[in-house]
């Protein structure tokens, strides 16, 4: 049995999320079915994180165990061929130690949220960014974001359906900056609560539009109450950028 690490890119719009669902298609199911056709086995795929319906990935880390003798290149080529025409691509495939785990070996997860800050409707980016028509105060958004960095009880920014044992998380980074007509929000942590990034971004959007003050963000965090949440940003603009591992375990 060989354990393969996969780096996966996908457009989340056609899927109910990463994880298998009884009520709709998922990225996990699509790759597992392709792997089964390629190997004649019934492989199970494990990922660094679970994404919601409509959320995208630039480099999701996953692993799968395969008994059939295959080189990483042959497996990658087979999966990419069998996944067509679904918007999923295996960007890289490597052999890893049998104790390496895409989820449990992960020491950090990175996301980026894309806001298209423009009045015209989206064409090429429809479903891939959140459009906010009015000019955003990016400096105020970044200042407000810093209230959330560090160890906190993120109950306010946690979905009512979140299954995490505790709402306490350490947010390592939450940076907001402008790139032309886009406002990018970059978030890093060891792990996130369900809807945490989208909830934080939604509130930052209110700050950028002048509907919230910078201090309103602090008060929302300190409330530790989902009712204090201002807005949950749509899934369209959220991208799983990558998972981080200690070098000794990722090579």
| The dihedral sign for the CA sequence 159, 162, 166, 172 | negative
Q: Are residues 95 and 187 in the same domain?
A: no
Q: Are residues 80 and 133 in the same domain?
A: no
Is residue 193 within 8 A of residue 169, CB to CB? The reply is yes
Number of neighbouring beta carbons within 10 Å of residue 90:
22
**Average per-residue pLDDT in the chain?**
95
Q: Is residue 221 part of a domain?
A: yes
Which portions of the chain are predicted below pLDDT 70? 248-251
Residues of the domain holding 112:
108-242
Task: Tell whether omega for the bond before 85 is within 30 degrees of 0, i.e. cis.
Answer: yes
Q: What is the CATH number of the domain that holds 101?
A: 3.30.70.580
pTM score, whole prediction: 0.94
> What's residue 248's pLDDT?
57
Point out the domain boundary residue: 71, 90, 105.
Answer: 105
> What's residue 200's pLDDT?
98
- Residues 187-217 have pLDDT tens digits of 999 999 999 999 999 999 999 999 999 999 9
The alpha carbon of residue 32 and the mean position of all alpha carbons in its chain are separated, in whole angstroms, by 20
> Which one, of 112, 212, 89, 229, lies nearest residue 160 by Cα?
229
Residue 69: C-alpha distances to residues 35, 62, 92, 147 (Å): 13, 19, 18, 51
Distance (Å, whole) CA 191 – CA 170: 8
Q: Are residues 97 and 149 in the same domain?
A: no
Is 52 annotated as catalytic? Answer: yes
Q: Are residues 116 and 99 in the same domain?
A: no
Q: Are residues 124 and 226 in the same domain?
A: yes
Distance (Å, whole) CA 17 – CA 131: 22
Q: Is residue 251 part of a domain?
A: no
**Looking at the 3D structure of the chain, how many domains does it have?**
2
> What's residue 16's pLDDT?
95
Point out the domain boundary residue: 53, 73, 105.
Answer: 105
Is residue 103 within 8 A of residue 245, CB to CB? The reply is no
Active-site option among 52, 110, 139, 225: 52
| The dihedral sign for the CA sequence 100, 103, 105, 110 | positive
Q: Is residue 249 part of a domain?
A: no
Q: Is residue 224 part of a domain?
A: yes
Q: Is residue 194 part of a domain?
A: yes
Q: What is the CATH number of the domain that holds 147?
A: 3.30.70.660
């Amino acid at each position: 049995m060989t354990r393969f690490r996969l780096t996966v890119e996908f457009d989340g719009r056609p899927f109910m999320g990463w994880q298998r669902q009884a009520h709709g298609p998922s990225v996990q199911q699509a790759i597992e079915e392709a792997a089964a056709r390629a190997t004649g086995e019934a492989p199970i795929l494990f990922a660094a994180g679970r994404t919601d319906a409509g959320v995208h990935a630039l480099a999701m880390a996953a692993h799968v165990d395969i008994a059939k003798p295959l080189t990483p290149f042959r497996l990658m080529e087979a999966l990419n061929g069998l996944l067509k025409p679904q918007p999923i691509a295996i960007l890289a495939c490597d052999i890893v130690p049998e104790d390496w785990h895409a989820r449990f070996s992960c020491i950090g997860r990175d996301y980026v949220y894309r806001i298209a800050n423009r009045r015209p409707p989206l064409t090429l980016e429809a479903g891939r960014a959140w459009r906010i028509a009015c000019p955003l105060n990016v400096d105020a958004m970044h200042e407000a974001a810093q209230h959330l960095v560090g160890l906190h009880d993120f109950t306010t920014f946690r979905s009512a359906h979140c299954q995490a044992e505790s709402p306490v998380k350490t947010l390592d980074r939450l940076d907001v900056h402008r790139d032309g007509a886009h406002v990018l929000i970059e978030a890093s942590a060891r792990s996130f609560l369900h809807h945490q990034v989208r909830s934080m971004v939604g509130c930052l959007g209110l700050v950028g539009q002048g509907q919230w003050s910078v201090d309103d963000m602090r008060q929302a965090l300190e409330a530790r109450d989902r009712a204090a949440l201002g807005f949950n940003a749509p899934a369209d603009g959220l991208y799983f950028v990558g998972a981080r591992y200690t070098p000794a375990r990722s090579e």
